[in-house]
Amino acid sequence: MTFSFNLRTLSIMGLMGFLVLGTTAHAQAPNAGRLEKARTELQKRFDAADTNKDGKLTREEAQAKMPRVYKNFDTIDAGHAGSVSLADIETFLMSKKGSRKSAS
Domain chopping of the chain, boundaries: 7-103
Answer with the residue of higher pLDDT: 70 or 104: 70
Q: How far apart are CA 101 and CA 15, in angstroms?
A: 13
pLDDT of residue 7: 44
**Amino acid (1-letter code) at residue 74:** D
Pairing of strands 83-84, 57-58: antiparallel
Q: Which residue has the higher pLDDT, 30 or 77?
A: 77
The closest of 79, 77, 44, 78 to 58, measured between CA atoms, is 77
One-letter identity of residue 71 = K
User: Using the 8-state DSSP alphabet, how is residue 24 labeled?
Assistant: P
pLDDT band at 1 (very low <50, low <70, confident <90, very high): very low
β strands within 1-104, DSSP E: 57-58, 83-84
pLDDT of residue 42: 83
> Which CATH number is correct for 7-103, 3.40.1130, 2.20.25, 2.30.110, 1.10.238?
1.10.238
Summarize pLDDT for 27-68 with one digit per residue, the tens: 455 578 876 887 788 899 999 999 999 999 999 999 999 999
Grade residue 82 by pLDDT with cuts at 50, 70 and 90.
very high
CA-based radius of gyration for the chain? 13
- pLDDT tens-digit series, residues 88-103: 987 887 788 666 666 6
Q: How far apart are CA 19 and CA 4, in angstroms?
A: 22
